[in-house]
Structure 1
């Protein structure tokens, strides 16, 4: 009798599991049907599957694939790498070459999103081998495009151009008009990055003619926008305006509006810029900082320095808040991934433990079976409670971040209500004082940073017979991150002067901006003081900087001109 009760309970649990599996399969079938016509609904349906990690490998792999396809449609966040790696494990053994390449592309994009470019390149290379071997031209093209994006992110435009051209050839073979036009557009953009505007214009003109055969408004508008930017860089403002207006006819997006406003400012038609800016919705938090900066430029051109300063201050405050929010978001994302992995390991540990219980259950009588099942149910409840508590904690952190941003926003709004009746001279003096204080604050932040103090400590150490630099490889990136955080305009300014500057030279520039004297720098790099002077001279030559007088230094020049 007791054994019969145990068999009945096991049967109920098995049937319940099968029913849940069947429901998941039906839901995934529905998701697959609606992705093309309504990706937002498909996304909501996919999110309704709770704890997808508990699905069997085949269903979980399918869930990941559908999630990736939805990401292609509505551009939401890609799944974390550990989930896509599990999906690839199944597809590598049971999936078709087409499915294997697709899941590898999603996995590479996930590593790219995490900043692990080397791993992403390895994944893309694997996908490329499978796609080319099986003559999957479209997927080969997409893989080349993502490799091009990776090279673009690493400031290697020449390599990016090669990959985008290869992608374009693949799309052309398959008569994939939309992707072919987009690949040509990407080639044109990269040529523009290396100041080869004539070649960029030639490629984009071809892309424009190809895009005439498509009904995809996003594709045509993006090409029109790219052409407008090229003509603007050539100072052909009438042609640039024509293409920006064409892009706006296709899609009224904030970036297109801002490109046209920038054009009006650059061409000196301030009234047009002001009129167009006033028509843009001002309440979109995503673009508030850009709108403030545009107002700053307009008022500055009108010599209305009071309003220009107000908008500049608000732009800087919003930018600082966005950087802080982005960092907090990244921290929450990392914590979420870590906690998820931790829960998965705990689940695996409990599964192993559960297997040992099953062996015991075989030799135990029915009553022990009931006790153990009760114990497992209790453990499951406890685990779910812990998971709910963790989710609640994450929600509270997110709410706290949102409240802090709202508080900063209210403070900025309060500042705008203050009356300011100072004269022009007083305003100029205030601007000068604010600039001086801003630089002093940057210098103070740098001097008080733990990394700066650590470098000073390293330089002060006495290490006889040392034959290598005191700065480790991993510290170079930390130095670059620290300096670009304190001086946010440095990277843009340096690469505007020398677009092809090697990354090692930029890192050295960041060390130089740290303000160490030649003796300290020589100790950190384990070179002579004379070699330090030569490095600084070579850096100035690469940046094509001519100092105004003999008493001026490259450090003072960079600090003064990067803002």
Structure 2
């Protein structure tokens, strides 16, 4: 039994093990974690090389989504669709650390924000804040407030955005996160500029500039210098604005905003030669700069009152913008279709997984039921064998007692014959013989009741077979009955044939059946005849044996038991 249970658990373990993903996926993700900080582009390529991420197990898939979000933070590509981060959060919510739960919620909120579902994004950010603040994760708390500020900014709620950016800045300051602290201050200054509080904006951005002096991230420094330049332009302090734009241009990797801001500054201040010189330094053959360069040429020619050239560049610029807008719209449409198809495929994969799991569960249940039935059957067989063995032991005991009593009875009879006179010993032995004879007959009866043949006849008599036209006792069973009866009652055959030497075999077999002690109704069922026919059959047999019963209520069985020696 233990063996079958062990086999069942092993089978279930193997079935569950079949769903595990190969370890090479984990190795690829380990490699991404190692290089993501120093080479995010290579990390992105490795992520894209993982085939069918939806087929990964939940743990590996959640990790894949988390790393995709981290790569996005480095190279600023598009975030994954919301349903993918939803699945990842489903795993992290049960198995992840608070840090991982807050991170994946931030990515999920950003994904909803990118899709324009601001209410859902706010709900997700609120959940992320609950986890981050509860576990005092200041950096994650700061990032969450920063993203909430972006959400308010998108809704033109600049005052609310400032409050969130200020809270984010405080969190970053607590954690000595210089880069994020400087960026949060830059965001605050930008929002103050949006509500025309230029003095306050300049004050905040000056603090951000001093903080950024301690950072190694040149992009942070460049973005703050660009912001300061824009503030000074708005204050019409063009010399200071030029100074900060030039600093931003010399440090940042993304130079186009600085080129545009400087040339716009030069055209505003009638420094056309400086504008032309700066424009000539721009990479003219770079496709990503072509549209902006056309617009800048338009500005310069327009400032020079060369309206024909300006119009040509403006028309070319407008055409390119229209093409870019069209291409962007087509890209968005394709992206939406791609996400829809991706979601459709993902749902189909989930449906197939559920179907596969249902098959596995059904198979396990069937096999479990089969093993259970097998175990129950084996236990039943064991009980049956034990019962049969007990019956055999009992039968052997009865036969042993039967043999012992018969031998002792014979000895007593021989001893009785040695006495010539009836004295006290004679009477005592005669009493012992009477007692042994009674015990002998009792053991004969028990032996008969415990015999397989007798039990089979009892079972046949209890059956209900409507429209049966044949006796229930077969020829083979008649022989078994005769063998069993003559074994238990060894003197029966001699006694019967002494009464009627020419008795037919069928009548002798019926005598053997009579020795079972069945009533007329039972015999009638076994022989498939009427009860009256049984009485007549017994009467004819008594006549053949010349047996006259003194008592009308006595039976042939009782007569044979009493008179057979």
TM-score by length of 1: 0.60
Q: Structure 1 CA distance, aligned partners of 2:45 and 2:223?
A: 28
Residues 87 and 318 of structure 1: CA distance in aligned 2, closer, same or farther (over 3 Å) = same
Counterpart in 1 of 2:331? 329
Q: Is the 8 A contact 1:101 1:128 kept in 2?
A: yes
Q: Structure 2 CA distance, aligned partners of 1:364 and 1:123?
A: 43
Counterpart in 2 of 1:269? 271
- Residue by residue over 1:456-507, the C-alpha shift from the partner in whole angstroms, topping out at 9 and shown as x without a partner, is xxxxxxxxxxxxxxxxxxxxxxxxxxxxxxxxxxxxxxxxxxxxxxxxxxxx
- Residue by residue over 1:367-400, the C-alpha shift from the partner in whole angstroms, topping out at 9 and shown as x without a partner, is xxxxxxxxxxxxxxxxxxxxxxxxxxxxxxxxxx
Counterpart in 2 of 1:313? 315
Q: Structure 2 CA distance, aligned partners of 1:85 and 1:273?
A: 50
Counterpart in 1 of 2:56? 55
Shift of residue 349 of structure 1?
2.9
Q: Structure 1 CA distance, aligned partners of 2:217 and 2:351?
A: 50
Shift of residue 330 of structure 1?
1.1
Counterpart in 2 of 1:392? none
SS of the aligned residue for 2:202 comes to helix
Q: Does 1:217 align with 2:218?
A: yes
Q: Structure 2 CA distance, aligned partners of 1:78 and 1:363?
A: 42
Q: Structure 2 CA distance, aligned partners of 1:71 and 1:248?
A: 24
Counterpart in 2 of 1:289? 291
Q: Structure 2 CA distance, aligned partners of 1:94 and 1:14?
A: 19
Shift of residue 351 of structure 1?
3.2
Counterpart in 2 of 1:124? 125
Q: Structure 1 CA distance, aligned partners of 2:270 and 2:35?
A: 49
Residues 99 and 11 of structure 1: CA distance in aligned 2, closer, same or farther (over 3 Å) = closer
Shift of residue 99 of structure 1?
0.7
Q: Structure 1 CA distance, aligned partners of 2:257 and 2:245?
A: 10
Q: Is the 8 A contact 2:15 2:360 kept in 1?
A: no
SS of the aligned residue for 1:120 comes to helix
Q: Which moved more, 1:352-361 or 1:308-317?
A: 352-361
Residues 88 and 298 of structure 1: CA distance in aligned 2, closer, same or farther (over 3 Å) = same
Please give the residue correspondences for 1:360-439 in structure 2 after superposition, counting only pairs within 5 Å. Answer: none
Counterpart in 2 of 1:65? 66
Q: Structure 1 CA distance, aligned partners of 2:362 and 2:35?
A: 48
Counterpart in 2 of 1:155? 156
Q: Is the 8 A contact 2:12 2:364 kept in 1?
A: no
Q: Which runs of 5+ in 1 are unaligned?
A: 1-8, 366-563
- Residue by residue over 1:201-252, the C-alpha shift from the partner in whole angstroms, topping out at 9 and shown as x without a partner, is 0000111111111121111111111111111111111111111111122125
Q: Structure 1 CA distance, aligned partners of 2:221 and 2:361?
A: 65
Residues 257 and 121 of structure 1: CA distance in aligned 2, closer, same or farther (over 3 Å) = same
Q: Structure 1 CA distance, aligned partners of 2:84 and 2:362?
A: 33
Q: Structure 1 CA distance, aligned partners of 2:364 and 2:95?
A: 34
SS of the aligned residue for 1:350 comes to helix
Shift of residue 316 of structure 1?
1.1
Q: Does 1:134 align with 2:138?
A: no
Q: Is the 8 A contact 2:158 2:194 kept in 1?
A: yes
- Residue by residue over 1:72-117, the C-alpha shift from the partner in whole angstroms, topping out at 9 and shown as x without a partner, is 1111111110000000111111111111110011001101111111
Q: Is the 8 A contact 1:21 1:55 kept in 2?
A: no
Q: Structure 1 CA distance, aligned partners of 2:49 and 2:169?
A: 38
Counterpart in 1 of 2:91? 90
Residues 281 and 16 of structure 1: CA distance in aligned 2, closer, same or farther (over 3 Å) = farther
Counterpart in 2 of 1:502? none
Residues 208 and 301 of structure 1: CA distance in aligned 2, closer, same or farther (over 3 Å) = same
Counterpart in 1 of 2:434? none
Counterpart in 1 of 2:399? none
Q: Structure 1 CA distance, aligned partners of 2:260 and 2:114?
A: 26
Q: Structure 1 CA distance, aligned partners of 2:215 and 2:70?
A: 21
Counterpart in 2 of 1:247? 248
Q: Is the 8 A contact 1:137 1:173 kept in 2?
A: yes
Q: Does 1:75 align with 2:76?
A: yes
Counterpart in 2 of 1:26? 27
SS of the aligned residue for 1:21 comes to coil
Larger Rg: 2
SS of the aligned residue for 2:236 comes to coil
Q: Structure 2 CA distance, aligned partners of 1:119 and 1:223?
A: 31
Shift of residue 317 of structure 1?
0.9
Q: Structure 1 CA distance, aligned partners of 2:325 and 2:271?
A: 32
SS of the aligned residue for 2:130 comes to helix
Residues 294 and 136 of structure 1: CA distance in aligned 2, closer, same or farther (over 3 Å) = same
SS of the aligned residue for 2:79 comes to coil
- Residue by residue over 1:402-439, the C-alpha shift from the partner in whole angstroms, topping out at 9 and shown as x without a partner, is xxxxxxxxxxxxxxxxxxxxxxxxxxxxxxxxxxxxxx
Shift of residue 132 of structure 1?
1.1
Q: Does 1:202 align with 2:224?
A: no
Counterpart in 1 of 2:188? 187
Q: Matched residue pairs, number?
A: 357
Residues 14 and 134 of structure 1: CA distance in aligned 2, closer, same or farther (over 3 Å) = closer
Residues 162 and 361 of structure 1: CA distance in aligned 2, closer, same or farther (over 3 Å) = closer
Q: Is the 8 A contact 1:292 1:314 kept in 2?
A: yes
- Of 342, 347, 365 in structure 1, the residue corresponding to residue 344 of structure 2 is 342
Q: Provide runs of 4+ in structure 1 moved above 4 Å.
A: 9-18, 355-365
Counterpart in 1 of 2:43? 42
Q: Is the 8 A contact 2:283 2:289 kept in 1?
A: no
Shift of residue 307 of structure 1?
0.4
Residues 355 and 134 of structure 1: CA distance in aligned 2, closer, same or farther (over 3 Å) = closer
Residues 362 and 190 of structure 1: CA distance in aligned 2, closer, same or farther (over 3 Å) = closer
